[in-house]
Structure 1
Amino acid sequence: MKQSTSNINTSEVIIVVINSILGAGILTLPRTISKAVGTPDVWISVILSGLIVTTISILLVTLCRRFPGKTVFEFIPEITGQWIAYLLGLLIIVYFVVLCSFEVRVMAEITSMYILERTPTWVTIMVSLWIGIYMLTGGLKVIIRVFSIVLPVTLVLLALVFLLSTKMFEINNLRPLLGDGFMPVLKGLKPSCLSYSGYEVLLIITAYMVDVKASNKAAIYSILSCTIIYLVTIVTVVGNLSLPGIQTRMWPTFDMVRSFEIEGFLFERYESLFIVFWLMQIFATYAFKHYFAAIGIRDLFRLKNITSIQFAMLPVLYVIAYLPKNLEETLALGDFLGNMSIFLFGLLPLLLLIISFVRKKGGKQASSEALKAS
């Protein structure tokens, strides 16, 4: 049992999962899902994908609860054997590492496009990584405390922006309902499910919970919270920009914020404030993935000093983040990661759970062993 870090309560797990999901997806989701669906029924796809991801998340925590106090990298060998466990563990670590690099590159692209136009991409990437490592060395509790402050402020600002945008909202942009039937809605499930990438941290953070029995509640609350945020975003952006207007824009959500101004209300234009806070939200996604990737390397290879691992990852993250030649290749990397997550965290946990039942691994026996270790 992880005595020094097994003190994460349910609300903190919810913060971790929400911060791990909400990132660049909210800026690009309206465009990707609109192209896939092609009708104003995109919001239905978001609801359905939220329910699917919620079900998968419950599956993940069910698997983790059979091995209390152990991360996915520690209990996979008990289910599959050592060699297969190394292969699967390496795949998960590679996924986290590449996802870290993707989030950092997206931050650099947005910064160079809207804030620091003449700043080289490599400078923004390097600064982001060094700021991140400074925070990561404080440990998981420090990271959670930082983003438990950032997340509410970001969500309040997002809600304010959505409220102010109602002046331009056209309900007719969301009509007709199911005009082309239900098939277009199903086409939107894949891109909308990919925007939930980040829920897989439950495979690690569950091991650090004080009350593991509350893991189901944490998974449901966090995924449903993200679903509501995505749903409101999609409805607001489509209602303001229309479906054809979204499909031609790279960052529809940000373009919507730029499209209106309110005279005499605190600030006339909100895009700068919005983009700064949302960059912090993308940074949160990167920070948690960096930390969990380091945990994976530590647990899989049975190392001790996680800080050294975090520092050793920096040059790897930098190189991968700098590999895409342009924004299109960066977004293509994000699509690849989303497809990879479907296998690693959609199909694989179900297979592992079935094998654990068949081979009678985990469950009450693992719980008793964890209690003895504590």
Structure 2
Amino acid sequence: MNRLPADRISTSQTTIILINMMLAAGILTLPRVATEKMMTPDAWIAVIVGGLISMVIALIMVKLCEQYPDKTFYQYNQVIVGKTLGSIISLAVVFYFLLLAALEVRVMAETTGLFLLQGTPIWAIIMPFIWIGLYLTLGGINAVARLLEIIFPITVLFFIVVVFLGLKIFELDNLRPVLGMGIKPIIDGVPATALSYSGYEIILIIYMFMQNQEKAKKVVLIGIGVPLIFYTLTLVVIVGALSVEGVLSQTWPVLTFIRGYEITGLFFERFDSLLLVIWIMEIFSTFIVSYFAVAMGLAQVFKKDTKIFYWGVLPVVYLIAMTPKNINSLFAFGGWISKFGFVLFGTIPGLLLLLSYIRRKNT
């Protein structure tokens, strides 16, 4: 694929794509998942550690991309390890993004059906969502980037307002004692944060489209740093407001937290529905970028037109999204995806970078 001017994205657009990829369903589920794994109020420490690990892995990815600036991951891994093994690796990455896209769609449908459109069948919520996503991704990476530029500032502003308005029910004692059970729960809790940080690996795909590739390291550090701040703030405030026991008793603790207070006299006295509407846009962002990565990967592996796969993948996403039978199986599905992604992107880019250095040294 040639880099056409219309395909290029700016540094700020690349950063926003990374941030939006991570600020999706994870922020709604992270407090419960992390706290359930650790059973202590120290989940926020695990989130920080998980974010720092993600930064290191992302920098390795950037270093790998720098070796092949005019190719996507799907193309240059075949140069490094050969066509057959490279195609297998590419299909594994495609499979990951496919699962991630389906997960985001299903989480969106579950939360929408529970809080906004009670009684509406899951399929009726999913169908228009994925069709709109298809329409947008057909416009290419530029159309996606421009939409995310609109969504991101709205999300940031509203999230900050909602969190700080809720500090009236915050209790610092709920976060004590710090490290009361030692460091082991934190080590055990770091993998539980993997799903929330899922998304930074998209740099492997969109690096080729960057106008200023020399700024890629800065992009990934900011792109992961912003969600790290969001997630840490979320864990501190939610656990501080609800306590560990309160978080564990709620399926969607963030929404429970927002429902726990009212601000009399404002235009909106209850913010949970408004937050959901805005956060659905974030989930949509993750879906469309993942969908873009799936279609591009299949097109480059099989040497076909991308539009064929945009249309062909649509029913597959729908079927996978409908697979979880209930909310518990949905959380289990998300946990499996996070583990799969952690292993896949925690090992493959580093190995490919090492092999790339060896290959270049021997030629």
TM range (shorter): over 0.9
* Residue 165 of structure 1: aligned partner: 166
Task: Give the 3 Å change call, closer, same or farther, for CA 348–361 of structure 1 in structure 2.
Answer: farther
* Residue 60 of structure 1: aligned partner: 61
Code of the residue aligned with 1:314 in structure 2: it is L
**Counterpart contact for 2:7–2:142, Cα < 8 Å:** no
The superposition leaves residues 160-188 of structure 1 with CA deviations (integer Å, 9 ceiling, x where unpaired) of: 11111011111111111111221111111
Task: Give the 3 Å change call, closer, same or farther, for CA 6–283 of structure 1 in structure 2.
Answer: closer
Q: Distance in 1 between matches of 2:228 and 2:4?
A: 34
* Residue 328 of structure 1: aligned partner: 328
Match of 1:242, SS state, is helix
Q: Distance in 2 between matches of 1:170 and 1:35?
A: 20
1:343 aligned onto 2:343: yes
**Counterpart contact for 1:78–1:361, Cα < 8 Å:** no
Q: Distance in 1 between matches of 2:70 and 2:211?
A: 9
**Counterpart contact for 2:9–2:145, Cα < 8 Å:** no
The superposition leaves residues 259-288 of structure 1 with CA deviations (integer Å, 9 ceiling, x where unpaired) of: 110100221111110111111111111011
1:319 aligned onto 2:315: no
The superposition leaves residues 146-169 of structure 1 with CA deviations (integer Å, 9 ceiling, x where unpaired) of: 111111101111101111101111
**Counterpart contact for 1:27–1:253, Cα < 8 Å:** yes
Code of the residue aligned with 2:42 in structure 1: it is D
* Mean CA deviation greater in 36-45 or 277-286: 36-45
Q: Distance in 1 between matches of 2:68 and 2:43?
A: 38
Q: Distance in 1 between matches of 2:149 and 2:156?
A: 11
* Residue 214 of structure 2: aligned partner: 213
* Residue 267 of structure 2: aligned partner: 266
- How many angstroms does 1:133 deviate by? 1.1
Structure 2: segments with no counterpart, 5+ residues: none
Code of the residue aligned with 1:335 in structure 2: it is G
* Residue 178 of structure 1: aligned partner: 179
Q: Distance in 2 between matches of 1:359 and 1:335?
A: 36
Q: Distance in 2 between matches of 1:272 and 1:116?
A: 11
Code of the residue aligned with 1:308 in structure 2: it is I
Q: Distance in 2 between matches of 1:141 and 1:223?
A: 21
- How many angstroms does 1:135 deviate by? 1.3
Task: Give the 3 Å change call, closer, same or farther, for CA 212–361 of structure 1 in structure 2.
Answer: farther
The superposition leaves residues 54-113 of structure 1 with CA deviations (integer Å, 9 ceiling, x where unpaired) of: 000000011011001110000011111111011111111111111111111111111111
Code of the residue aligned with 2:71 in structure 1: it is K
Q: TM-score, normalised by structure 1?
A: 0.94
1:140 aligned onto 2:180: no
Code of the residue aligned with 2:46 in structure 1: it is S
* Residue 226 of structure 1: aligned partner: 227
Code of the residue aligned with 1:203 in structure 2: it is L
Alignment of 1:274-285 (within 5 A): 274-285=275-286
Q: Distance in 2 between matches of 1:143 and 1:161?
A: 27
Q: Distance in 2 between matches of 1:161 and 1:153?
A: 12
Q: TM-score, normalised by structure 2?
A: 0.97
The superposition leaves residues 316-338 of structure 1 with CA deviations (integer Å, 9 ceiling, x where unpaired) of: 11111111111111111111110
- How many angstroms does 1:6 deviate by? 4.9
Q: Distance in 1 between matches of 2:309 and 2:7?
A: 21
RMSD: 1.4
Code of the residue aligned with 1:66 in structure 2: it is Q
**Counterpart contact for 1:21–1:197, Cα < 8 Å:** yes
Q: Distance in 2 between matches of 1:186 and 1:257?
A: 29
1:38 aligned onto 2:39: yes
Alignment of 1:193-204 (within 5 A): 193-204=194-205
Match of 2:360, SS state, is coil
* Residue 189 of structure 2: aligned partner: 188
Code of the residue aligned with 1:226 in structure 2: it is P
Q: Distance in 2 between matches of 1:37 and 1:245?
A: 14
The superposition leaves residues 291-314 of structure 1 with CA deviations (integer Å, 9 ceiling, x where unpaired) of: 1111111111122x3223211111
Q: Distance in 2 between matches of 1:323 and 1:47?
A: 32
* Residue 369 of structure 1: aligned partner: none
The superposition leaves residues 29-60 of structure 1 with CA deviations (integer Å, 9 ceiling, x where unpaired) of: 00111112221111111111111000000000
- How many angstroms does 1:144 deviate by? 1.0
* Residue 368 of structure 1: aligned partner: none
Structure 1: segments with no counterpart, 5+ residues: 366-374
Match of 1:278, SS state, is helix
Q: Distance in 2 between matches of 1:308 and 1:5?
A: 21
Q: Distance in 2 between matches of 1:322 and 1:38?
A: 31
Q: Distance in 2 between matches of 1:361 and 1:282?
A: 43
The superposition leaves residues 103-130 of structure 1 with CA deviations (integer Å, 9 ceiling, x where unpaired) of: 1111111111111111111111111111
* Residue 310 of structure 1: aligned partner: 310
Q: Distance in 2 between matches of 1:83 and 1:3?
A: 28
Q: Distance in 1 between matches of 2:149 and 2:361?
A: 36
**Counterpart contact for 1:237–1:253, Cα < 8 Å:** yes
Code of the residue aligned with 1:7 in structure 2: it is R
Q: Distance in 1 between matches of 2:64 and 2:217?
A: 11
